[in-house]
Structure 1
Amino acid sequence: MGEVIRDITISADGCSAGHHQTEERPFGDDGGDGSGGRLHAWMFDTPEENRAEIERLNTAGAFVMGRNMFGPVRGAWDRRWNGRWGDEPPFHAPVFVLAHHAREPRPMAGGTTYHLVTDGIAAALARARAAAGDGDGDVTVLGGATTVNQYLTAGLIDELRLHIVPFTLGTGTRLFEGVPPLGLDQLTSRAASQVTHVTYRVLR
């Protein structure tokens, strides 16, 4: 069976977003313009230096996505509204969105299909595993720290890939907030000019 993986960029003090998040500023007071510019500058300012980490971000067989990362789901599941990711999202696989209201699946250009799941994180993961296949298809959990913390608390993450950016936010949505103590086995660590990439095996 494939693994359940989470890639997440955090500040040096563990925040994946600042306070005052909005639809227009999904990363809130992130030390930049709120669009993730400072937290995620390593992807765009020095892409060649971080090519391996960038290329593996969207290689899973299926994805689970937090509702905030998808964007607000409008009441009528408006055909003009495709979430934050445009008409051709970068995932190219089934994406199971944690949501409050069920909708029909939404196929998108490029092979992404959104499925809204209303019966919890375990159900979303089970559907993603089935979609990824019974072989070695991995599932990636997408979303900010709140979503990841739910999966960590439930013991459902196998591998945690952190991209640690050298500045502090001081306050915000923090990874490991409210999560019981975990054992982590460090698998890899690589420092780049704007970020340090660390991969951990989450010990049961």
Structure 2
Amino acid sequence: MTRVVADITVSLDGFVTGPNPGPGNGLGDGGMDLHRWVFSDDPEEQRLLHDGSARSGAVLLGRSLFDIVDGPQGWSDEIGYGAAEVGRPPFFVLTSAPPSSVRLSELDWTFVTTGLTDAVRAVRERAQEVSAERGHDVDAVLMGGGELIGSAVNAGLVDELILHLAPVLLGSGTPLFRGAPRRSLVQRDVLVTRNATHLTYEF
């Protein structure tokens, strides 16, 4: 079964970026500290990255995050989703209007302009197609940013939530949840590595 999985790194005080995020400063002031586990040479953390890429049948991101990763200082062959990994999935971007041009034109981009529900449906359907092509289940992954994931969780569009809890206090920045409705989750897994605690929940 194709699941919708939200996967994001968050600080101990609940922020997914530091203050002042934007092009050239994608994770905000001090935000790179969140992702020490991503750039670590720790074998367990590298395994988590590999497994995350392998399970990604299609990936959804918001427009602000797209503008950062497609910007001049964004993703490259060395840094980016799937870089040096098992492959690069198709990407969907939730936006009010498609960009006039795309720097990372070698990647498969689809721009969804009809709202969050349609975007999640599109990424799930594409992941189902990839599952059929590969002969095993892969996931529809929501990679962020925080507003997209928070809104999708609040709207009940997510099956599984994976949080990489970084031992960092940012003080301010982009919060993961704003005005979330009260609800209980089922904790499925906890893995402690050198640079983060990795938590998996189901709804």
TM range (shorter): 0.7 to 0.9
**Residue 126 of structure 1: SS of its match in structure 2?**
helix
**Residue 189 of structure 1: SS of its match in structure 2?**
strand
Of residues 100-109 and 166-175 in structure 1, the stretch that sits farther from structure 2 once superposed is 100-109
Change (3 A) 1:81 1:190: closer
Q: Match of 1:139, as an amino acid?
A: A
Shift of 1:56: 2.3
* 1:38 corresponds to: 33
Of 109, 114, 117, which aligns to 1:119?
114
* 1:64-100 CA-partner distances (Å, limit 9, x unpaired): 1111211169xxxxxx968932479645222110112
Q: Match of 1:117, as an amino acid?
A: V
* 1:11-53 CA-partner distances (Å, limit 9, x unpaired): 11111012211200011123xxxxx421101121343131231
Q: Determine if the alignment matches structure 1 residue 97 to structure 2 residue 98.
A: no
**Residue 43 of structure 2: SS of its match in structure 1?**
coil
Shift of 1:104: 8.9
**Residue 56 of structure 1: SS of its match in structure 2?**
helix
CA RMSD in angstroms, aligned pairs only? 2.6
TM-score between both structures, scaled by the size of structure 1:
0.81
Higher relative contact order (CA 8 A, sep 6+): 2
Distance 1:186 1:96 in 2: 28
> Do 1:66 and 1:97's aligned partners in 2 also have CA atoms closer than 8 Å?
yes
Identity %, equivalent residues: 33
Unaligned runs of 5+ in 1: 31-35, 74-79
Which structure shows the higher helix fraction?
Answer: 2
| 1:1-204 matched pairs, under 5 angstroms | 1-30=1-30, 36-59=31-54, 60-71=56-67, 84-86=74-76, 90-91=81-82, 92-102=88-98, 108-109=105-106, 112-133=107-128, 136-202=137-203
Length, aligned pairs only: 189
Q: Match of 1:155, as an amino acid?
A: G
**Residue 24 of structure 1: SS of its match in structure 2?**
coil
Distance 1:43 1:85 in 2: 14
**Residue 71 of structure 1: SS of its match in structure 2?**
helix
Shift of 1:163: 0.7
Distance 1:144 1:81 in 2: 15
**Residue 7 of structure 2: SS of its match in structure 1?**
strand
> Do 1:104 and 1:115's aligned partners in 2 also have CA atoms closer than 8 Å?
no
Change (3 A) 1:108 1:166: same
**Residue 157 of structure 1: SS of its match in structure 2?**
coil
Shift of 1:144: 2.1
Q: Match of 2:112, as an amino acid?
A: V
**Residue 6 of structure 1: SS of its match in structure 2?**
strand
